[in-house]
Structure 1
Amino acid sequence: MFYQFYELNHAMMAPWRTAADAMRLAFSNPMNPVSHTYFGRAAAAGLEVFERATRRYGKPEFGLPETEIDGQPVAVRERIVWRQPFCNLIHFERRLPKDRAPDPKVLIVAPMSGHYATLLRGTVAAMLPHSDVYITDWIDARMVPLSEGTFDLDDYIDYVIQMLHFLGPDAHVIGVCQPAVPVLAAVALMEAEDDPPTPSTMTLMGGPIDTRINPTAVNQLAKERPLDWFRDNVLMPVPWPQPGFMRLVYPGFLQLSGFMSMNLDRHLMAHKEFFAHLVKNDGDAADKHREFYDEYLAVMDLTAEFYLQTVQVVFMQHALPKGEMMHRGKRVDPASIRRVALLTVEGENDDISGLGQTEAAQTICNSIPDHMRQHYMQPDVGHYGVFNGSRFRREIAPRIVAFQRQHSRHAKPVKQLIKGGKSA
């Protein structure tokens, strides 16, 4: 019933949010003399903070209408090119000159861990000038009717394999955070079958390959609780009138609550500063706060079977690094990977996937030649900074592009894209 109470609370708050927004507009209207006083600005600021703290955030847009290629603006169009009940594959089509050689196809596998794929907007934007980009757009489980069946970790791996088949040979795959395990598993299964569409490179970023290394608070929770605890305490049926009514899910708002509680002081301070920026009419700083939290607070539900299998296989059993992971009765053997170049990326201050957890892929994928593997640790960034932000654009993205081109069969000459940072 907890999910139902959560929905009821939102419904009950709707009139108050509407009233608060109307009052905010009144206090901030330049025609109102009070808006030019400290009291008016403070009232408008407080009302906006209240409205934003109590609203439900919908799925954001990618909002990437163009990119810059060879110094020229190029229009970009989003198009869904592959569909399944629990995922769409979005292609960012660039209107390139017909005589320009094609760029490498890059599949970005976004996390299915509570946030939408738009969390990787910065990742996509950084790759667009150099790559033909596709991204997994996972569907909110509460929007998928029960008639569409179930979705678990095995299905996730199947989806990745199917998408790589859709893209064809010489594609490149990037797994950001949670997908690191299913992406590696998918590539290992394809290599074991000598599957022609096996990607040329695999980039794993801030992912839980081996959570026994430098375990974080997220890892400790899975270690301290039995699987039945998660089944009994965090899984809930989708309430009416959502399309997925009665589907058992791990609600996104629970995942968000867990993430926010890990850094509660930081989030409270951010909202306090947001209030101060509004009072001071510091529009740029306020807009940055809105932009970040519009994304961060937009969450989606996960299917119960996917959530439980991931907790058990990845965080409790550590099946992949121990060589015990199974996919539909077949063992996933990372040593099967021989032809796929491997790049692993970590953040020095990552509090979600501890330092060394992603690099573990370099150890278990021991059949990849040394000249086809690389590890990079980005100093002074946390989990989010591994795939977004200025350091990602300046230090990490150029390394990914250079690595892909170096190991692509349609490689272009690699320019000097990297200007600093430390390799590990």
Structure 2
Amino acid sequence: MYYQLYEFNHAAMAPWHAMADQMRIAFRNPLNPLSHTYFGRTVAAGFEVLERTTRRYGKPEFGLSETVIGDKTVSVHEKIVWQQPFCNLIHFERCLPAGHRNDPKILIVAPMSGHYATLLRGTVEALLPHAEVHITDWVDARMVPLAEGGFDLDDYIDYVIEMLHALGPDTHVIAVCQPAVPVLAAVSVMEADNDPLSPSTMTLMGGPIDTRINPTAVNQLAKEKPIEWFRDNVVMPVPWPQPGFMRMVYPGFLQLSGFMSMNLDRHVIAHKEFFAHLVKNDGDAAEKHRDFYDEYLAVMDLTAEFYLQTVETVFMRHALPKGEMMHRDRPVDTTAIRKVALLTVEGENDDISGVGQTEAAQTICTNIPDHMRLHYMQPDVGHYGVFNGSRFRKEIAPRILSFIEEHARTGKAKPAPRVIRGGKAGSAA
């Protein structure tokens, strides 16, 4: 019912949205004398805020058409190299100059937690000059017809394994946030099977490996409510006329509401500042606001079975760190990982995955040799800063690339790395 009301609200607001958009254009038109006055800019700013708050935000574009390798700019093209109903694997194909060395293959597993993979645009952009980058482009569940079947946590793990098989040997996998658990499970299954296509390295960034450690507000909610509460209150059918009509989903707008309510004051202040920037004609600051919220407010639905299984397995039962997680009726044994080097990355101020939750992977993967493991905690960044922003580009990305080069199976053996905590070297985890 809530989903239908949400759709009805959008339909009811459509005339107001159209009116706000037209008035915004009219009061920003340089041919309108009022557009050059304080009054005109104020009116235009108000209508733009109204237009943006009543807009339905569609899936953003990556928009990465080029990158710089060395001192040369090369073009980049998106190419789908693997496809299933709930995911496309995108390769950012670079037009490399003749004689360019073979760069490492990286599979970035984007979060399937309400936002699109484009949230990791900055992650991809930072790695492109140095690697052949692939990313999981998860499909909005409400766009997948019921005839395509379901998608749960077991299917997610299978998808990761299939993608690693498709990319071939000496692939390096990076899991950002939510995928940390299924990626670690997938690698555990591959290693238990002595799969020759298991990745060379596994990087887990800001992921909820063990949410018993420094639980955040997100973790507390899962502890306070039984799984039946989530099934009864946040799972609902996709309304007509969407392609996924009647598919049971966890709607993206509910996920977004939860995230925004955690920092509601920040969002209110951000929109007030946006209004002020528009009135002052501060175009750069206003454009930064638009870019961020165009991404942040674009959300997708998750299948109900995947969402409920994830909540129960990861946040309620803590099955993976307790050694109780199953994949298709077989145990997920993290101690089976022996050949895959492990890098864990955390942010000091992460309010989604608390400090220590990702590092827990170092504890449960007991059979990875010490010289093949590394933990890094980035000072002064929150959850978003773990995979985006200036500190990611300057501090985290170079460490990831160095770790990948260190442990590429086709490379030469190099000295054992040391754990870095807050910018200082320490003993191995």
**TM > 0.5:** yes
How far is 1:379 from its partner?
0.4
1:154-180 deviations in Å (ceiling 9; x for gaps): 000000000000011110000000000
How far is 1:409 from its partner?
2.3
Partner of 2:352: 352
The whole-number CA distance in structure 2 between the counterparts of 1:141 and 1:366 is 36
How far is 1:412 from its partner?
8.1
Partner of 1:20: 20
Say which of 411, 420, 423 aligns to 1:421.
423
Partner of 1:38: 38
The whole-number CA distance in structure 1 between the counterparts of 2:224 and 2:355 is 21
The whole-number CA distance in structure 1 between the counterparts of 2:321 and 2:195 is 23
Name segments (4+ residues, structure 1) moved above 6 Å.
none
The whole-number CA distance in structure 1 between the counterparts of 2:16 and 2:166 is 48
The whole-number CA distance in structure 2 between the counterparts of 1:32 and 1:411 is 64
How far is 1:43 from its partner?
0.5
- Residue 112 of structure 1 pairs with residue 134 of structure 2: no
- Residue 186 of structure 1 pairs with residue 186 of structure 2: yes
1:159-174 → structure 2 map (5 Å cutoff): 159-174=159-174
How far is 1:422 from its partner?
4.1
Partner of 2:87: 87
Tell me if structure 2 keeps the 8 A contact 1:104–1:172.
yes
1:282-361 → structure 2 map (5 Å cutoff): 282-361=282-361
Tell me if structure 2 keeps the 8 A contact 1:377–1:423.
no
1:253-268 → structure 2 map (5 Å cutoff): 253-268=253-268
Gaps in structure 2 of 5+ consecutive residues: 415-419
- Between Structure 1 and Structure 2, how many residues are aligned? 420
The whole-number CA distance in structure 1 between the counterparts of 2:335 and 2:224 is 31
The whole-number CA distance in structure 2 between the counterparts of 1:310 and 1:38 is 51
The whole-number CA distance in structure 1 between the counterparts of 2:237 and 2:9 is 17
Partner of 1:229: 229
How far is 1:24 from its partner?
0.8
Structure 1, 6-15 or 245-254: larger mean CA deviation? 6-15
- Residue 124 of structure 1 pairs with residue 124 of structure 2: yes
SS at 1:20 equivalent: helix
1:134-213 → structure 2 map (5 Å cutoff): 134-213=134-213
Tell me if structure 2 keeps the 8 A contact 1:41–1:279.
yes
Tell me if structure 2 keeps the 8 A contact 1:377–1:422.
no
Partner of 1:386: 386
How far is 1:99 from its partner?
1.7
Code of the residue aligned with 1:111 in structure 2: it is P
The whole-number CA distance in structure 2 between the counterparts of 1:161 and 1:295 is 28
1:122-161 deviations in Å (ceiling 9; x for gaps): 0000010111000000000000000000000000000000
Code of the residue aligned with 1:121 in structure 2: it is R
Partner of 2:400: 400
SS at 2:130 equivalent: coil
1:162-219 deviations in Å (ceiling 9; x for gaps): 0000011110000000000000000000000000100000000000000000000000
SS at 1:128 equivalent: helix
1:411–1:130 distance in 2 versus 1, CA, 3 Å: farther
Code of the residue aligned with 2:335 in structure 1: it is A
Gaps in structure 1 of 5+ consecutive residues: none
Partner of 1:70: 70
Code of the residue aligned with 1:252 in structure 2: it is G
Tell me if structure 2 keeps the 8 A contact 1:200–1:407.
yes
How far is 1:12 from its partner?
1.0
How far is 1:221 from its partner?
0.3
How far is 1:370 from its partner?
0.6
1:19-49 deviations in Å (ceiling 9; x for gaps): 1111111111111111111111010001000
Give % identity: 79
Partner of 2:417: none
Structure 1, 22-31 or 288-297: larger mean CA deviation? 22-31
Aligned-pair Cα RMSD in Å:
1.3
The whole-number CA distance in structure 2 between the counterparts of 1:339 and 1:411 is 14
Code of the residue aligned with 1:285 in structure 2: it is A
